[in-house]
Amino acid sequence: MTKARATAVRLAPAGRAVLVLGIAAPELAGRRFTIDGRRISATRVGRVALLVTYVERDAYTAEALEELRGDDERLASEARSYQRAIERAAVHAPVAPAGLLTVVTEAAELDALPPDRVLRWSRQLTRLGERRECALLCYAGPHALPAFEPYAVAVAMRALRMQKPDFGTEPAIAAHLEATWKAVAEFGVSTRKLRAVTKRERFGATLLIDPTEIDRLRTTLAAHAADAAALGLTWYLEGPRLPFSFA
């Protein structure tokens, strides 16, 4: 191994795995900070800087991750740390979230990651780095306020690729939902459907949006509020957020 190569290699500590939190612009490389007692670093890989932390390998095996996803309290804790790390980094440079619990196991060295994976991350940063997402939820009748925290679980983990919007079978409500969605969807670069979690939830979606369009989105949704109220519906707009639903 040449000296130049030796200085470029980044080894995961023994018994540790790499948890990738986000994909950042290369100018973030070299930054280090701590979130919830976990040390985070931005490491240059190809054309991007990966926002990473090192975790106990045995605690992040495929089996352990499956168990973690079924434990609401632990998953929420992971999601809060993940969000805080990405949000803090995004103050300094464009950052695209990696998927929650993205663990690198195929390489002991970040330099040895498969080129196609690094390329996908680079394209993800290009697509998401400067954009934000907004979540729209519509409820009928008396209902509890929707939960938005931790956002990466409460909203982003409900996101599904949208083939065709489902507006339900009640004619008047379906017509309102369709008209409202048609008006606001034009501001989105991409959209996701949100899987309903309560019977009162009539519609839910997230929009990937350019920051310059956010005020117009708010104004357009507000223009439909009176019609919604007449039907016993309430719209909620959450955001802008980093694009967790599109990671």
Q: Give pLDDT tens digits for 207-231.
A: 999 999 999 999 999 999 999 999 9
Q: Which of these, 219, 195, 183, 199, lies nearest to 141 by C-alpha position?
A: 199
**Of 4 and 84, more confident:** 84
Examine the fold and report which residue of 100, 128, 156 is the final residue of a domain before the chain moves on. Answer: 128
Span 161-211, pLDDT tens digits: 988 888 999 999 999 999 999 999 999 999 999 999 999 999 999 999 999
Domain finish residue from 107, 128, 149: 128
Instruction: Identify whether residues 73 and 154 lie together within a single domain.
Output: no
Query: Does residue 86 sit in the same domain as residue 159?
Result: no
Q: Are residues 26 and 112 in the same domain?
A: yes
- Is the predicted pLDDT of residue 113 greater than 90, yes or no? no
Q: Are residues 108 and 172 in the same domain?
A: no
* Same domain, residue pair 108 and 218: no
The CATH number for 167's domain is 3.30.70
**152 plus 121 within the same structural domain:** no
Residue 114 shares a structural domain with residue 143: no
Whole-structure pTM value: 0.88
Residues 124 and 187 in one domain: no
Domain match, 105 and 139 both: no
Residue with tokens 């440079």: 93
* Domain ranges, residue 30: 3-128
Look up residue 10 and give its DSSP letter: -
Does residue 200 sit in helix, strand or coil?
Answer: coil
Task: Give every strand in the sheet of 32-35, ordered side by side.
Answer: 32-35, 38-45, 48-56, 16-24, 95-104
144 and 56 share a domain? Answer: no
Q: Which among 110, 128, 146 is the end of a domain?
A: 128
Same domain, 159 and 103: no
Q: Check if the beta carbon of residue 97 is closer than 8 Å to that of residue 21.
A: yes
Q: How many domains does the chain have?
A: 2
pLDDT band at 2 (very low <50, low <70, confident <90, very high): very low
Asked if 41 and 105 sit in the same domain, the reply is yes
How many residues appear in the chain?
247
- Are 101 and 19 within 8 A, CB to CB? yes
Position 15 pLDDT exceeds 80: no
